Amino acid sequence: MARPRPATAPPPEAVLRAFAPRDGQRGLGLPPEGRPGPRRTSSGPWWKADAASDPWRDPHAPAALGRPAEYVEETPQDDGPLVVDAKGRRRLRLGDISLPVAVVAVLSLLFVAALGGTLSWYLGRTAGEAPLLSPGTQLSEVSPGISEAPGSVASIAQQVGPAVVSIEVRVGDSGATGSGVVVDAENGYIITNNHVVSGAADVDGAEIRAVFSDGSGSAARIVGRDPASDVAVIKVEKPGLVAASLATPGSVVVGDPVVAIGSPLGLAGTVTSGIVSALDRPVRLSGEGSDTNAVISAIQTDAPINPGNSGGALVDGTGAVIGINTAIASLGGTGTGGGSIGLGFAIPIDKARDIAEQLISTGTAVHASLGVQARTVTDSVRDGALVVNVEPGSPAEAAGIEEQDTIIAVDGQPVGSSEELQVAVDSKAPGDTVTVEVVRGGGSSFEVQATLTTA
């Protein structure tokens, strides 16, 4: 059973007068002015001809469909010369600015610019210059630097520098410079190169002078020199010397950092650094105005070495001297002239020490000899030293070595050149017996025994 509809209150009197039924209608009718506008017509979506008899419409409902909302476009306001662009930004519309206003604005800008420039010029002309001198001025300074860490280049230079000297040689009107290392502070012995002092040997009026790191100098005398190793020892009479520490044999490996200290081009106390780039490098040292004729098994370094470094120290990271700088490589060959191209050579300190001890003891040094002269040769299969001369009565002759034989090893160590043969023999002492491997003609190699003598 349907639930009875609750009674509704009658519409107010004012509404009844405005919307009174007309033409037999029931309920509220249209307003006095008639139907709404064109949006609400009998054919519109919300009003139909049978709307009054529509079962879903309650003619007794207090609410009825009203006039649809109307949208009226606003008329843009005239903001004068200011316009709003598509992004909502206000801009000046120059076309709406009157000509007198524009002229006044431009003239104002020009006046301000002219006034500013005139004032700047006037003030610059009339301002007085600051005094050129300022008595009593003190510049800023920083606190003293931190002491260098052990093993740094600066620390090594401070440690070894006082033991490295400059050597000045004067013969008549000519002169030369080199370097040296103090090895005996008590007796004043200094190691240097033979080619540094050989020009003053046995020459009347020749002068040799050692200049120390503190600027003092002292006359020096030649104790002994050895052209076959390019080592010489000089002596000074000066108290309070500082001697360098000499490294032990075999304490150096390729890649170790090194420092070269000497007087290149007469510039005393010069320090350069690098690494050990090779060991046991056979290097032939030419005379270049001296009687030096040596082949050494050198330490190769890329620490810059120049003329005047000869006789100076090559030092490892502990401050110990590992070699005596003696030669540099240049595009024209190997010697003591030219300039550094990153290839320098030093006599290993164990060899220099041995020769120096002999020179200090006897004034001369002895070397072992096989008694052959050789040149480097290769047959594209095997390198060696081709014997071009055998000295009569030499160990080589006694061992049966003949001319045109090729020596390829000494005591099992390969020999690939005449320099390597000389280094291998020089590493021995007179009286030592060595095994020499020889190739004769196109045959196979064979070994002979030879007892070395004094060169």
| Extents of the domains making up the chain | 153-236, 257-354, 368-454
Does residue 425 contact residue 452 with C-beta atoms inside 8 Å?
Answer: yes
Report the pLDDT value the prediction gives residue 452, as an integer from 0 to 100: 95
195 is catalytic: yes
Mean pLDDT of 399-424: 93
Mean pLDDT of 17-22: 67
432 is catalytic: no
Mean pLDDT of 319-347: 79
CATH fit for domain 153-236, picks 3.40.50.11030, 3.30.360.10, 3.40.430.10, 2.40.10.10: 2.40.10.10
Report the pLDDT value the prediction gives residue 332, as an integer from 0 to 100: 57
Q: Each residue of 40-73: pLDDT tens digit?
A: 454 455 555 665 556 566 656 655 555 556 655 5
Helix or strand holding residue 296 (H, E): strand 294-301
List the catalytic residue out of 179, 263, 297, 310: 310
Environment class of 38 (CB within 10 Å of its CB; exposed 0-12, middle 13-18, buried 19+):
exposed
List the catalytic residue out of 226, 230, 302, 426: 230
Same fold: 257-354 with 368-454: no
202 is catalytic: no
Higher-pLDDT residue of 145, 119: 119
- Picking from 410, 403, 416, 422, the residue whose alpha carbon sits closest to that of residue 449 is 410
List the catalytic residue out of 195, 290, 367, 369: 195
The CATH-assigned architecture of domain 257-354 is Beta Barrel (2.40)
Q: Is residue 197 pLDDT above 60, yes or no?
A: yes
Mean pLDDT of 191-211: 91
Band of residue 301 on the pLDDT scale cut at 50, 70, 90:
very high
pTM for the model stands at 0.68
Can you tell me the distance from the alpha carbon of 392 to that of 372, in angstroms, rounded to the nearest whole number? Answer: 9
The CATH homologous superfamily to which domain 368-454 belongs is PDZ domain (2.30.42.10)
Q: Is residue 199 pLDDT above 60, yes or no?
A: yes
